[in-house]
A = this chain, B = another copy of it.
Amino acid sequence: MPLLKIENLHHTYEDGTPALNGIDLEIEPGEFLAVLGSNGSGKTTLIKHLNGLLRPTLGRVLFTGKPIESVADREVFSRIGIVFQDPNDQLFASTVEEDVAFGPTNMGLAPQQVKERVHEALHRVGMEDFARKSIHALSHGQKKRICVAGILAMAPQVIILDEPTAGLDPMGVHSLMHLLEDLNKKQGVTMIMATHVVDLVPLFMSKIAILSKGRVLRFGTPGEVFGDAEAIEKAKLHLPLIAELMNILKTRDHVKLHHIPLTVGEARREILRLLSVQDVIERV
């Protein structure tokens, strides 16, 4: 049974904007799903349906087979953690420590345990030195990290992140992505992440859904989806930079590539293969 099943989901905002126009998706336990799409394509709106913050205009969302509005709030919120797009929407306590402790405290953990979790979570996002700092005195990227820490501290089974990497420095992006990968691979946490950074996707995600105008345009593995240049174009995305380079080499310069590599590692192997042919020739 899929963990989350979205059936014919429509959402029209009060002012008449049709933000979602029939989304069908199934998310299996343990998956790492990337939701890609241009600005205004409906990613945030979709995500807000996944824990019941918004109610569908039509269609429904099933969580472990049951309509999500019929599952107790307490269960939904403790099993699904959401990192919002705008950190100012998410942080509300006055200090970092208090904010991160909020979720675990509400889960009824003992103070000592809460403390440990807070420490652990802050450590994981590289913010342990900021525990006592006021939230309003953090930089934007620092706030985003605290948002993630607040969810990590609750140890949910599903983590949904709305552009968690926007505004993080490159090192922060990498350590966050590795952290998420770890959680996903080792602890089986299901991950759903809306993002614009196509370069990350092939490195970490197992599935991609491309949204466009409130519909799912493509759904599949990175290889499948990025193979479809037309869909990518249509969704106002572009190929990962490496793929772009290799694609140009292949299509314009007729370099003989077996496939289009998506990551630095793959590209390196491919280029070496090409060059080693050369080496061989040279040696001959």
Contacts and interface: CB of A to CB of B under 8 A. Distances in A.
B166 A167 contact: yes
A238 to B, nearest CB: 4
A242 interface: yes
A48 to B, nearest CB: 12
A230 interface: no
Contact of A39 (B137, B142, B237): B142
B238 A264 contact: no
Interface residues of A, number: 56
Contacts of A244: 264
A170 interface: yes
A214 to B, nearest CB: 12
A107 interface: no
Contacts of A172: 38-39, 236
A66 B29 CA distance: 62
Contacts of A41: 169
A165 to B, nearest CB: 9
Contacts of A145: 39
Given A167-B196, A171-B236, A196-B168, A140 B281 contact: no
Interface in A253-284: 253, 255, 264, 267-268, 271-272, 274-275, 277-278, 281-282
Interface in A172-212: 172-174, 196, 198-199
